[in-house]
Amino acid sequence: MSRVGKKPIPLPQGVKVEIGQELKVEGPKGKLTVPIPQGVTVRQVNGALHLERESDKAAALHGLTRALAANAVQGVSTGFTKELDIVGIGYRAEIKGRVATFTLGYSHPIDFLLPDGVDLKIDKQTHLVLSGADKQLVGQVAANIRALRPPDPYKNKGIRYTGEVLRKKVGKTGGGR
């Protein structure tokens, strides 16, 4: 039996759930839908969601569906955040509406269009805070922003997640003829 799948999902105050072909979760931060695969059933009992599977063939999908449903419930109630830091002299970011502009040492500034459902706040031009209801979307946008200038292993310049531990490499040494 799936240990993840067996755990009930408590529903916080203000979160509405509609069970059909897919699970529709609605809360103060927005609306999300979670697909329910065949072989997995969802029931709402005493303010909590319980997921059950019909046979062991749906074992992998049981835990996956429960995890996705729990992320949707948490997303619409409290939301998810990812924090990024820009490190490097002259590297900075600005936001105007839904477009973030990055100056990252290239010959041109980079414009990054934020998708709907993701908000960006910038502190001191170098600390970025992404927030939204969809965990997957927030993580993907954070990865796309980091990919604009990944941390350099020699100078540690670039965009990194807050708290990310980087290994600094030693550069070339001269001589040796």
Helices and strands in the chain, H and E counts: 3, 13
Q: Give me the chain's average pLDDT, please.
A: 84
Rounded to whole angstroms, the Cα distance separating 130 from 118 reads 7
pLDDT of amino acid 177: 63
The pLDDT of residue 2 is 56
Sole residue written with tokens 């619409």: 76
pLDDT of 40 reads: 81
DSSP SS3 for 54: coil
pLDDT tens sequence across 89-118: 888 888 888 888 888 888 898 888 888 888
Query: Which pLDDT belongs to residue 176?
Result: 59
Report d(CA 51, CA 36) in Å as an integer: 10
Please say whether the beta carbons of 23 and 36 come within 8 A. yes
The pLDDT tens digits of the residues spanning 69-85 come to 888 888 888 888 888 88
Looking at residue 25, its pLDDT comes to 84
C-alpha distances in angstroms, 92 versus 70, 96, 99, 148, 171? Answer: 35, 14, 14, 12, 26
Half-sphere exposure of 98 (CA within 13 A, CB side): 7
Kindly report the pTM of this predicted structure: 0.79
CA distance 65 to 63: 6
> What confidence tier does 42 reach under pLDDT thresholds 50, 70, 90?
confident
Q: Which domains does the chain have, with CATH numbers?
A: 3-77 (3.90.930.12), 80-161 (3.90.930.12)
What is residue 65's three-state secondary structure?
A: helix
Q: What pLDDT is recorded for position 175?
A: 61
What is the per-residue pLDDT across 115-169, written as a single tens digit (0 to 9) for each? 888 888 888 888 888 888 888 888 898 899 888 888 888 888 888 888 777 788 8
